[in-house]
């Protein structure tokens, strides 16, 4: 009798465990395949209006996307193998311990976006780790041509301070950068894939006198211009001279990171870099895949649940192929991929590119 009862209980448990998440109607009549995702529709409405200025691809988007990386990449299996704490990965520790982690050399300036984001996470009672990844995914969806990133929720709100030194610096060598990423589980090609984020990025602290200077000429569009313009010969510094982590740029107002310039020309990464110039879809596909991997570092994905349906679908790219900016020719390209010719791209017939400098506030 006991055996039959136990079998019945176990059978019921298996059935219950196989039941799919309960579907739900959320606020404003929106549907979710999992009722636990309903809260994220409310977060979406709040941050689109009050963090991203009505759904723009602006500075808060740039910084939110940067924050996803700085929270997640602080994860070192090597340190764990050595008996040390190697960080919790995408666990929200950079928000929980902002007074410590935003003072790391690599994260200078992130205290501002953490300070802006934290009240939203607290108001909606969601974990810091979840909120950081959600805000990054929503933010980049505001950029024309951007990806529709996966968003898995369910991260714990318990974390501890990440060790310093796990976030690559723009002054690091390619060897150092690739070794750090390899420790976290990323190949050299995946490093390039993640750097597609720099197509909608800008700097504030390498040269604070030119606050907000972008890394390419179209910082509100998720396009391949970054991968073209990083290969152009540098001719001048956009500000008042050279600063640590900066190298010569092709245009006034555009800043080039030393690490980006080196990775664009290194034989281990140059061909992946070049491959995106004439293939926007490939760039988005590989960025999406690499971001999905990064967003769960330090987490067991089996304990998370999929709320990707809450992330808005971005507007499609105006063009799937990058162009040579006006005033530049193929002679200005420092072709570094020896395996394949530089792709055929057109030159912009407009006036020579000049990116306005945003004055420091």
What's the first-to-final CA gap in the chain, in angstroms? 77
Predicted confidence band of residue 211 (pLDDT cuts 50, 70, 90): confident
Choice among 62, 70, 243, 280 that is catalytic: 70
Helix (H, G, I), strand (E, B) or coil at 28: helix
What is the rounded distance in angstroms from the CA atom of residue 163 to the CA atom of residue 71? 11
What's the length of the chain? 361
**What are the start-end ranges of the E strands in the chain?**
24-25, 31-32, 152-153, 202-203, 213-214, 246-247, 256-257, 305-306
Domains of the chain listed by start with CATH number: 30-332 (1.10.520.10)
Asked if 70 is an active-site residue, the reply is yes
Mean pLDDT of 49-71: 97
Reported as a single tens digit per residue, the pLDDT across 61-95 is 999 999 999 999 999 999 999 999 999 999 999 99
How high is the pLDDT of residue 123?
A: 98
**Is 344 part of any known ligand binding site?**
no
Q: Residue 297 above 90 pLDDT?
A: yes
Residue entry with tokens 């808060």:
60
**Is 71 part of any known ligand binding site?**
yes
DSSP 228-279: HHTTBPP-B-SSSS--TTEE-BSSTT--EEHHHHHHHHSTTTHHHHHHTTT-
HSE-up (13 A, CA, CB side) for residue 349:
0
How high is the pLDDT of residue 19?
A: 54
**Is 89 part of any known ligand binding site?**
yes
Angle formed at CA 276 by CA 262 and CA 222, multiple of 5 degrees: 95
Contact 198, 260 (CB under 8 A): yes
| Residue 37, φ and ψ in degrees, nearest 5 | -85, -10
**Is 183 part of any known ligand binding site?**
no
Mean pLDDT for all residues in the chain: 91
What is the rounded distance in angstroms from the CA atom of residue 77 to the CA atom of residue 89? 10
Mean pLDDT of 53-64: 96
Secondary element (H or E) of residue 116? helix 110-124
**Is 207 part of any known ligand binding site?**
no
14, 143, 179, 231: which is closest to 215 by C-alpha? 231
Residue entry with tokens 């006991």:
2
**Is 76 part of any known ligand binding site?**
no
**Is 300 part of any known ligand binding site?**
no
| Residue 165, φ and ψ in degrees, nearest 5 | 90, 5
What is the rounded distance in angstroms from the CA atom of residue 185 to the CA atom of residue 172? 19
Reported as a single tens digit per residue, the pLDDT across 329-354 is 999 999 999 999 999 898 876 655 54
Structure tokens at 281: 């879809």
% the chain with pLDDT above 90: 83
Which residues pair with residue 152 across a beta bridge?
Answer: 306
Contact 104, 164 (CB under 8 A): yes
Predicted confidence band of residue 7 (pLDDT cuts 50, 70, 90): very low
């Amino acid at each position: 009798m006991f055996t039959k009862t136990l079998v019945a209980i176990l059978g019921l448990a298996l059935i219950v465990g196989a039941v799919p998440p309960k579907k739900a109607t959320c606020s404003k009549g929106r549907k979710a395949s999992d009722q636990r995702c309903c809260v994220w529709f409310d977060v979406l409405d709040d941050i689109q209006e009050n963090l991203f200025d009505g759904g723009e691809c602006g500075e808060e988007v740039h910084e939110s996307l940067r924050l996803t990386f700085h929270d997640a990449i602080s994860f070192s299996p090597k340190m764990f193998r050595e008996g040390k704490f190697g960080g919790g990965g995408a666990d929200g520790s950079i928000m929980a311990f902002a007074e410590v982690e935003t003072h790391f050399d690599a994260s200078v300036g992130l205290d501002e976006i953490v300070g802006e984001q934290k009240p939203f996470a607290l108001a909606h009672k969601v974990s810091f780790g979840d909120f950081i990844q959600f805000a990054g995914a929503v933010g980049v969806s505001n950029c024309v041509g951007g990806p529709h990133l996966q968003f898995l929720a369910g991260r714990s709100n318990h974390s501890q301070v990440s060790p310093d030194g796990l976030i690559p610096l723009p002054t690091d060598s390619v060897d150092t950068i690739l070794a750090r990423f390899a420790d976290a589980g990323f190949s050299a090609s995946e490093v390039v894939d993640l750097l597609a984020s720099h197509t909608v990025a800008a700097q504030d602290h390498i040269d604070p006198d030119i606050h907000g200077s972008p890394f390419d000429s179209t910082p509100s569009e998720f396009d391949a211009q970054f991968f073209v313009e990083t290969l152009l010969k540098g001719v001048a510094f956009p500000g008042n001279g050279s600063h640590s982590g900066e190298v010569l740029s092709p245009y006034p107002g555009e800043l080039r990171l030393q690490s980006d310039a080196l990775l664009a020309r290194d034989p281990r990464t140059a061909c992946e870099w070049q491959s995106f110039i004439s293939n926007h879809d490939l760039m988005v596909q590989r960025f999406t895949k690499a971001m999905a991997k990064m967003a769960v570092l330090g987490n067991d994905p089996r304990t998370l649940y999929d709320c990707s349906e809450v992330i808005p679908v971005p507007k499609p790219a105006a063009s799937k192929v990058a162009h040579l900016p006006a005033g530049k020719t193929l002679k200005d390209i420092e072709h570094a991929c020896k395996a394949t010719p530089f792709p055929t791209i057109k030159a912009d017939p407009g006036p020579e590119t000049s990116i306005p400098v945003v004055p420091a506030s």
